Structure 1
Amino acid sequence: MQNNYTLKLVKSTSYDPWYNLALEEHLFNKAEDNEIIFYLWQNDNTVVIGRNQNPWRECRYTELERDEGKLARRLSGGGAVYHDLGNMNFTFIMKESLYNVEKQLQVIINGVKKLGINAEFSGRNDILVEGKKFSGNAFYSDEGRCYHHGTLLVDSDISKLCQYLKVSKEKMESKGIKSVQARVINLKEINTSIDIKKLSEALEISFQEVYNSSISENAIMSGDTSEFKELYDKYSSWKWRYGETPNFQISFYNRFSWGDLDINLNLRDGEVMSIAIFSDAMDYKLIKDMEKSIQGIKFEKLEILQKLEMLNEIYDKNIISDIENWLNEKDI
């Protein structure tokens, strides 16, 4: 019986998350009726947040950027993840009529089995080995097209995950930060000879076996954005990564030698929509001018500090310096 679909394998040699996510959406938008695309890609030193997540609450992005990492936002929902070159990402892209999550997961499970690893789907969007997670999965659909993507931990630096991702107080109390390392596993811990290249080759074979067909097109993408520059511009933009954040409130408090300072912000689309600053400092005009200067700007450390620096010409430089030094230490 002849299959009513063709298989396409796409590999990215770029480690830029904005490029890889732009390429993923480009492939999604161009998917043909009878085409099943299997896309393999890697990001280096990256935190990727879900479509509706708040970067200020999910990760220490200033620390990440200080370490020359990148923050990215994907189309699908779910939680924040850390990617490095010890992790491989996969995406299945196709029209809804061909979409079959069970079959897609079988490609992954059969692929790692070829490397001597017995894995199973947990039913909670995770793939496990020996009861520990090595793959998280997320899903997206629009206008009759679907994609299913996920991570595959091969030899990832789990300590970086704990370093850059924030854990909520509730999660800290119920599980503890150390439990992150206890609940996830690298495939290399099971099979020390495994690497990204071997996993990629095994998945390529498994893809063809599960779908009982040969790959008809094999594309290597090396970082050229000419076909989808608008998508790359979107994924790399401040507006998409930060400005698409749902409305939220955030507060900062500190006690200084000259008085206390309680800053309360209402944010929409990553901008300061309203601000209230409470203080027992003697100079009440400084407090009001701080509110005026920060109102309406991007919630970005550099912009806030630039606005405060302008107040240096009018007010006590020591007080302004105290506030700047304090905010510099905050994860804004």
Structure 2
Amino acid sequence: MSNLIVINTSFNPWYNLALEEYLLDKVTDYDNILFLWQNANTVVIGRNQNAWRECRTELLESEGGKLARRSTGGGAVYHDSGNLNFSFILPRSSQDFLIQAGIITKAVGKFGINAYVNGRNDIVTDQGKFSGNAFTYRKNRALHHGTVLVDVDREKLGRYLQVSKEKMQIKGIKSVQSRIVNLKEYDSGITVERVRDAIMQAFVEEFGQCEIADCSKEIDIFDRKFDMAEVHRTYEIYSSWEFRYGEAPKFDIEWANRFSWGEVVIHLTLKNGVIIKSRIYSDALDELFIANIRQCFDNVPFKKKDMAEAVVKQHPDSPMAKDIAEYILSKEM
């Protein structure tokens, strides 16, 4: 079994996400890969989210920040130099969220911090959440990535992110800032570099010895190991306005509901009683499910029964599809 640790020094979110996708899709010589990276003053939204709904985009960009869209599901997060991102890329057959999350809890445990998995994708302490996690899959490979809040700027996080009232009510919180905790609050001596080293050590303890590609020590290591032309082609996609923002939402009807597995926002444009255009946005972790139903109401009559049937038809065995159908049938129209 061969393992690889990749350490990048770029703070550009579009480049980091492009490199991550390259490691997932193109680097097949290693069983287990750990990619450690950081972004500067960035809001990263989930694959199926509406940028304008999740982020104060004009404020972010006016203050020199960047908006990025990742390949995984889940909600919007704020990244700055006080946050460390990790990506586990593993064989799909052997990936296990609890094992990977255990690497993170073991790493922070080296600083005397007791951390554990809570809910569908969070790693927390008794004082709050410091790591949100998300996932995507290929035929034979899996990606699990997440954040580690070491010393994130809470004020900017609260100003840039727009969290729905429904989500805060369900989570029992007054603001997005009150839900999180920085590891530095436990020990003023904790730094991103020390946490990075602890995660690397825990990864080696779990999977065995690793080859290391660290561009801070070998400036041309990526050029020698990877096809950087391919990475830059993917970068052009991640950095494009079309990918990050998509089509500006114009619609006649908006429905929003939070289910146990995430929030769903449905936009409908009508003509003569028929839905001529639809979009579905969500922070659900199952990004493929949302992607597959995003336009399922197109050309469907604006009637509850027809709409419920349309979403279930896409995924007849999915509990999530049935939840959405039941919600539609409950609407007053």
Is TM (by shorter chain) over 0.5?
A: yes
Classify 1:36/1:248 alpha carbon distance in 2 versus 1 (closer, same or farther; 3 Å): farther
> Which residue does the alignment assign to 2:109?
113
Classify 1:207/1:30 alpha carbon distance in 2 versus 1 (closer, same or farther; 3 Å): same
Cα RMSD over matched residues?
2.7
> Which residue does the alignment assign to 1:143?
139
> Which residue does the alignment assign to 2:17?
21
> Which residue does the alignment assign to 2:96?
100
Q: What's the secondary structure of 1:62's corresponding residue?
A: helix
Q: What's the secondary structure of 2:162's corresponding residue?
A: coil
- Which one-letter code corresponds to 2:251 in the other structure? Q
Distance 1:145 1:172 in 2: 34
Distance 2:2 2:179 in 1: 37
Deviations 1:32-51 (A, max 9, x none): 26520000000000000000
Distance 2:235 2:81 in 1: 21
User: What is the CA distance between 1:266 and its match in structure 2?
Assistant: 5.7
Distance 2:137 2:124 in 1: 25
> Which residue does the alignment assign to 1:231?
234
Name which of 66, 85, 94 aligns with 1:70: 66
Query: Paired residues, what number?
Result: 251
Note the 1:263-274 alignment, pairs <5 A: none
Deviations 1:182-236 (A, max 9, x none): 221000001111001111111111111122x111243427697534121000000
Distance 1:207 1:97 in 2: 18
Identity of aligned residues (%): 50
Distance 1:173 1:27 in 2: 38
CA contact (8 A) 1:72 1:241 kept: yes
- Which one-letter code corresponds to 1:69 in the other structure? G
CA contact (8 A) 2:131 2:147 kept: yes
> Which residue does the alignment assign to 2:26?
30
Distance 2:33 2:234 in 1: 19
- Which one-letter code corresponds to 2:238 in the other structure? Y
User: What is the CA distance between 1:128 and its match in structure 2?
Assistant: 0.7
Task: Structure 1: give runs of 5+ residues left out of the alignment.
Answer: 252-264, 268-272, 275-332
How high is the TM-score relative to the length of structure 2? 0.69
Name which of 199, 220, 237 aligns with 2:215: 220
- Which one-letter code corresponds to 2:243 in the other structure? W
Deviations 1:75-125 (A, max 9, x none): 000000000000000000022123122211111111111122111111321
Distance 1:31 1:145 in 2: 10
- Which one-letter code corresponds to 2:34 in the other structure? F
> Which residue does the alignment assign to 2:312?
none
Distance 1:244 1:34 in 2: 38
Classify 1:62/1:94 alpha carbon distance in 2 versus 1 (closer, same or farther; 3 Å): same
Distance 1:244 1:143 in 2: 29
CA contact (8 A) 2:103 2:199 kept: yes
Deviations 1:117-168 (A, max 9, x none): 1111113210111241000000000222110000000000111111011122
Distance 1:128 1:214 in 2: 28
Classify 1:249/1:187 alpha carbon distance in 2 versus 1 (closer, same or farther; 3 Å): same
CA contact (8 A) 1:84 1:157 kept: yes
- Which one-letter code corresponds to 2:240 in the other structure? S
Deviations 1:36-71 (A, max 9, x none): 000000000000000000001111101100001000
CA contact (8 A) 2:168 2:175 kept: no
Distance 2:62 2:76 in 1: 19
Name which of 2, 5, 9 aligns with 1:6: 2
Q: What's the secondary structure of 1:249's corresponding residue?
A: coil
> Which residue does the alignment assign to 2:44?
48
Note the 1:126-165 alignment, pairs <5 A: 126-165=122-161
Classify 1:105/1:169 alpha carbon distance in 2 versus 1 (closer, same or farther; 3 Å): closer
Note the 1:223-302 alignment, pairs <5 A: 225-243=228-246, 249=251
Distance 2:45 2:139 in 1: 23
Distance 2:172 2:84 in 1: 27
Distance 1:60 1:11 in 2: 30
